[in-house]
Amino acid sequence: MTLDEAYRHIKKCKQADAQPVKCGRWENEHLENDVWWADCSNCKNETHSRFGRVSSYAFCPNCGARMDGDSECQ
C-alpha cells in the first residue's frame, strides 16, 4: 500500500463521536454503618462502597467524571 492509498483509506474512516472529558472530585467522604459514602462534585450524586473508600474510584459511576485531579479538566 502506498502512502497516498493509506491517506485515502484514513480519510474515509468515520470520526469518533467523542465528548469533552468530565472531571470532578469526591466531596464529603464519610463512613456510616460500615459503608463509605461520598458526593461527586460534577453530578452531585451520592456514591457508596462497602469494599473501601469511595475516593479510590477513578471515575464516578453515575456520570463518568474522571476523579484523578487532572489540572487540564475544567
Domain tally, the chain: 1
**What integer pLDDT is reported at residue 69 of this predicted model?**
66
- With respect to residue 36, please indicate whether it lies within any of the assigned structural domains: yes
Q: Is the pTM of this model over 0.75?
A: no
- With respect to residue 61, please indicate whether it lies within any of the assigned structural domains: yes
Burial class (CB in 10 A: 0-12, 13-18, 19+), 72: exposed
- With respect to residue 7, please indicate whether it lies within any of the assigned structural domains: no
In order along its 74 residues, the chain shows pLDDT tens digits of: 899 898 888 888 878 778 888 999 999 999 999 999 999 999 999 999 988 898 899 999 999 999 976 656 65
- With respect to residue 6, please indicate whether it lies within any of the assigned structural domains: no
- Helix or strand (DSSP H, E) at 74: none
